[in-house]
Copies of this chain bind each other. A is one copy, B any other.
Amino acid sequence: MALGEFDLIKKYFTSFDKGEGISLGIGDDCALLDCPLGKKLAITTDTQIEGVHFFRGTSPFLIGYKSLLVNVSDLAAMGAVPYCFTLSLTLPDADENFLSEFSKGLFSLAKKLKMPLIGGNTTKGELSITICAYGLVDGDNAMKRQNAKVGDSLFVTGTLGLPGLAVEAGYKRFSMSKEDFDSCIEKSMLIEDRTEFASMISSYSKCAIDISDGLVGDLNHILKMSDVGCDLYIDKLPKPEEFSKFHVNEDLSDRLCLYGGCDYELLFTCSEENEQNIASIADTCKVKVTKIGQINNGSLNLLKHGKMHRLNEKSFEHF
Contact B319 A5 (CB under 8 A): yes
B-contact bits for A45-74, CB 8 A (1 contact / 0 none) = 111010111000000000000000000001
Contact B29 A34 (CB under 8 A): no
Contacts of A191 in B (CB 8 A): none
Smallest distance from the beta carbon of A209 to chain B beta carbons, Å?
6
A279 contacts the other chain (CB 8 A): no
Q: Which of A105-113, A130-138, A282-290, A295-303 has 4 or more CB atoms under 8 Å from chain B?
A: A130-138
A23 contacts the other chain (CB 8 A): yes
B-contact bits for A101-140, CB 8 A (1 contact / 0 none) = 0000000000000000011111111101010101101010
A277 contacts the other chain (CB 8 A): no
B-contact bits for A4-25, CB 8 A (1 contact / 0 none) = 1110100000000000000110
A203 contacts the other chain (CB 8 A): no
Contacts of A126 in B (CB 8 A): 125-126, 128
Contact of A90 among B122, B128, B146 (CB under 8 A): B128
Q: Which of A36-44, A148-156, A179-187, A236-244 has 4 or more CB atoms under 8 Å from chain B?
A: A36-44
Question: How many Å lie between the Cα of A8 and that of B317 in the bound state?
Answer: 12
Contact A78 B30 (CB under 8 A): yes
Contact B317 A5 (CB under 8 A): yes
Smallest distance from the beta carbon of A149 to chain B beta carbons, Å?
17
Contacts of A145 in B (CB 8 A): 27-29
Contacts of A75 in B (CB 8 A): 29-30
Contact B121 A30 (CB under 8 A): no
Contacts of A31 in B (CB 8 A): 42-44
Contacts of A318 in B (CB 8 A): 5, 122-124
Contacts of A24 in B (CB 8 A): 142, 144
Contact of A125 among B6, B52, B146 (CB under 8 A): B52
A80 contacts the other chain (CB 8 A): yes
Contact B47 A88 (CB under 8 A): yes
A94 contacts the other chain (CB 8 A): yes
Smallest distance from the beta carbon of A141 to chain B beta carbons, Å?
11
Contact B78 A139 (CB under 8 A): no
A248 contacts the other chain (CB 8 A): no
Contacts of A209 in B (CB 8 A): 29
Inter-chain pairs besides A49-B123, A122-B318, A123-B128, 8 sampled, C-beta below 8 Å: A5-B317, A30-B78, A37-B37, A45-B120, A46-B88, A47-B123, A88-B88, A126-B128
Taking Cβ atoms with an 8 Å cutoff, the residues of A that contact B are 2, 4-6, 8, 23-24, 27-35, 37, 40-47, 49, 51-53, 74-75, 77-78, 80, 86, 88, 90, 93-94, 118-126, 128, 130, 132, 134-135, 137, 139, 142, 144-146, 208-210, 225, 317-319
